[in-house]
Structure 1
Amino acid sequence: MAVLAYADGHPVGYAYGNRIEHGDRYWQRTTPAPAEEYTGRPALALKEIGVRPAWRGTGASRRIHDALLAARDEPFVTLMVNPAAGEGKVHALYRSWGYEDIGQSQPSPASPLLTVMIRPIR
């Protein structure tokens, strides 16, 4: 699932994600193991949000995020964030959107330790 945003015919940003099921490696790499409440049913894993620099700070990323979630029927959306990104501002932004920390993950040996966050879709 993906959302592309445009203004006056010009790209503004995008978001994409995929459905993850119980037992998915996304959950297997998360420590501590997430609660069954989150993993017992399919969830949406938000993989990336990107907004052009001119549109940062305008609320465009939140509108793109919300548009991605609007058509979903999963009960939860989860994401991974580098807590050092933007000197912590990205992590704080997701918290302001209702996400909470539930663990950590290192998807590959070369990646930094990421914070796993989750929130209800509705």
Structure 2
Amino acid sequence: MTTAPAIELRTFTTLDHVRSDLIDVYAEVRAPLLHLPNYAVTAFGERLDRHGGEPGFSAVLAYADGHPVGYAYGNTIENGDRYWQRTTPEPAAKYTEHPTVALKEIGVSPAWRGTGTARRIHDTLLAARQEPYVTLMVNPAAGDGKVHGLYRSWGYEDIGQSQPSPASPVLTVMIRATH
């Protein structure tokens, strides 16, 4: 049996002291896509600042030898949030009638993919959450569909589509119970 790589998971509830690490690891994770306007580091920084100021923000970063190698962050969304307004078809009321965790970003450096690190980050982020559901958006073409399949293996199911911005591709909206 293989043991999990030696990483340290750290949880943050503000961007103070972690913003630069988030941007650094994002740039490494998304390197092949940084030439696309929606994936540019500056666009990510703007989204990060907006998300970091929203209710219920939390982030988990994975560190190996003091270097960030993966991350996830999310925040709480309520019924009527623009996240739900852009989702078609309209999600079932059971998903929107209570606050929900929106997993806004998750990524792991290429050298750490396939090690279980992403799942550990994901599960650590959700462990402290009280919301009954977690939702995320995924580009169905990412990794030739492998990323979408990975989320399905984690218990997520498709509930609709969304295009968060004109520069964004049409994404699949997925949801599952938090615990």
TM-score interval, smaller chain: over 0.9
Specify every segment of 5 or more residues in structure 1 that has no aligned partner in the other structure, as ranges. Answer: none
Q: How many residues align?
A: 122
SS at match of 1:79: strand
Name the aligned partner's letter for residue 121 of structure 2: I
In structure 1, the partner of 2:20 is none
Hey, which of these two has a bigger chunk of helix by percent? 2
**4+ runs of 1 displaced by more than 6 Å?**
none
In structure 1, the partner of 2:140 is 83
Instruction: Out of 95-104 and 47-56, give the one that drifted further.
Output: 47-56
Name the aligned partner's letter for residue 60 of structure 1: T
For residue 20 of structure 1, the aligned residue among 77, 80, 84 is 77
| 1:34 to 2:91 alignment | yes
Q: State how far apart, in whole Å, the 1-side matches of 2:67 and 2:164 are.
A: 33
Provide the TM-score with structure 1 as the length reference: 0.97
How far is the alpha carbon of 1:55 from its aligned partner?
0.4
Residues 56-106 of structure 1, C-alpha deviations (whole Å, 9 max, x = no match): 000000000000000100000000000000100000000000000000001
Hey, which of these two has a bigger chunk of strand by percent? 1
Higher relative contact order (CA 8 A, sep 6+): 1
> Sequence identity of aligned pairs in percent?
82
Q: State how far apart, in whole Å, the 2-side matches of 1:51 and 1:110 are.
A: 23
How far is the alpha carbon of 1:8 from its aligned partner?
3.0
| 1:74 to 2:137 alignment | no
How far is the alpha carbon of 1:6 from its aligned partner?
1.3
SS at match of 2:169: coil
In structure 2, the partner of 1:102 is 159
Instruction: Out of 31-40 and 106-115, give the one that drifted further.
Output: 106-115
SS at match of 2:72: strand
Specify every segment of 5 or more residues in structure 2 that has no aligned partner in the other structure, as ranges. Answer: 1-57
How far is the alpha carbon of 1:114 from its aligned partner?
0.4
Q: What is the RMSD computed on CA atoms of the aligned residues?
A: 0.7
